[in-house]
Amino acid sequence: KTTSALKVSAMPTLVLFATEGSTTEVGRQVGLLSPEELLRWLKEAKSGKSGEELEKAQAASDDSAIWERISGARQLMMSQKHAEALEEYLWLWNNLKNEDNTTFGDLRLKMVPVELKQLCATYPAAKAKMAELRDTAEKADNRADWIILNGILDDNARTLTWFDNAKGDPKKLETISKNSALLEPVLFSNCRWADATKYLYPEPLAKIAEYHKSAEAMKKPRPDTEVAKDFDPFPSMILLVYGAYIGANKEAEAQKIADECLRLDDTPAMHTALENMAKSMRAARGK
């Protein structure tokens, strides 16, 4: 009865009323909103904007357009409308930027590649398009996109071949460092822990300090966000650095990393994270 009365035809739909118990609708939003978008929408409504003004403001939001594309691409892929889904994912690939220090930059690095890989597995045209984009990235020396596209194409062996050549060339060490986050899963999945310690984390304590600074910043709420009281991203951020040294059988260095992590964050979560990672990595290396 409620959905019929309010003429709701899709989920999720948010309907905003003037006051509690009121039937006067002052705003409506169909589709997924990020926390930032939702807060912005509510603040604009509270300022007294009409429903039409709210709709125009939301339509003008770049965030809204991106989330709409993401939701649409997923729905199309689930409906096996592969050609249309590919078009939407290509829009996301071309309009999101790796360098964005936002949720959207992270989406291009992680979520979009995972979903494109799924699409490639069932739609040959998507795989052909990704291969074309990879060739273009290589010609432009866009190593970041090239590495991501290799992952989408399930061709990390190509990335490893490049890495093995690059690590012997002093001129390319900066490129390896710049793309360390993208190389992490490739090296770890191939048990290349010694390479990770030498080329991705040559100064592990400095890396730990960098992660701690980022974690502390993440724990501080911004004007448009809230942070849970017990939120602590630091233990999960240091695991690959610590794990690489354990996997490479560099136990003395690993202990220094653990000591520094506990100095900065002596919590049960950190103790558990270090213990579990050490156990799993020692099992992985066979000792």
> Look-up: residue for tokens 């966000």?
225
53 confidence band (pLDDT: 50, 70, 90): low
Report the pLDDT value the prediction gives residue 56, as an integer from 0 to 100: 60
Sequence-distant (≥ 6) Cβ neighbours of residue 134 within 8 angstroms = 145, 146, 149, 150, 153
Mean pLDDT, to the nearest integer, of 193-211?
97
> Look-up: residue for tokens 């309907």?
15
Mean pLDDT, to the nearest integer, of 35-52?
76
Report the pLDDT value the prediction gives residue 152, as an integer from 0 to 100: 97
57 confidence band (pLDDT: 50, 70, 90): low
HSE of 230 in the Cβ direction (CA atoms, 13 Å)?
A: 4
Mean pLDDT, to the nearest integer, of 166-191?
95
Q: Is the model more confident about 182 or about 221? A: 182
- 5-14 own/partner pairs: CB under 8 Å, 24+ apart: 14/38
pLDDT value at 151 more than 60: yes
pLDDT value at 149 more than 60: yes
**Distances in whole angstroms, Cα of residue 203 to Cα of each of 164, 209, 242, 253, 278:** 20, 10, 12, 10, 19
pLDDT averaged over every residue in the chain? 88
Q: Is the model more confident about 286 or about 268? A: 268
pLDDT value at 197 more than 70: yes
Report the pLDDT value the prediction gives residue 40, as an integer from 0 to 100: 79
180 confidence band (pLDDT: 50, 70, 90): very high
Mean pLDDT, to the nearest integer, of 256-271?
97
Report the pLDDT value the prediction gives residue 143, as an integer from 0 to 100: 96
Report the share of the chain in percent with pLDDT over 70.
Answer: 90
Among 9-13, 50-54, 194-198, 234-238, whose mean pLDDT is lowest? 50-54
Closest C-alpha among 92, 87, 78, 83 to residue 123: 83
Report the pLDDT value the prediction gives residue 101, as an integer from 0 to 100: 53
pLDDT value at 225 more than 80: no
Report the pLDDT value the prediction gives residue 287, as an integer from 0 to 100: 58
Record the tokens describing residue 113, joined without a space.
Answer: 């590649």
Torsion of CA 246, 251, 257, 261, to 10 degrees: 80
Report the pLDDT value the prediction gives residue 22, as an integer from 0 to 100: 76
Q: Mind listing the pLDDT tens digit for each residue in 97-118?
A: 766 555 666 788 888 999 999 9
Mean pLDDT, to the nearest integer, of 236-241?
96
Using a cut of 0.85, tell me whether the model's pTM lies above it: no
47 confidence band (pLDDT: 50, 70, 90): confident
pLDDT value at 58 more than 90: no
CA distance 241 to 245: 7
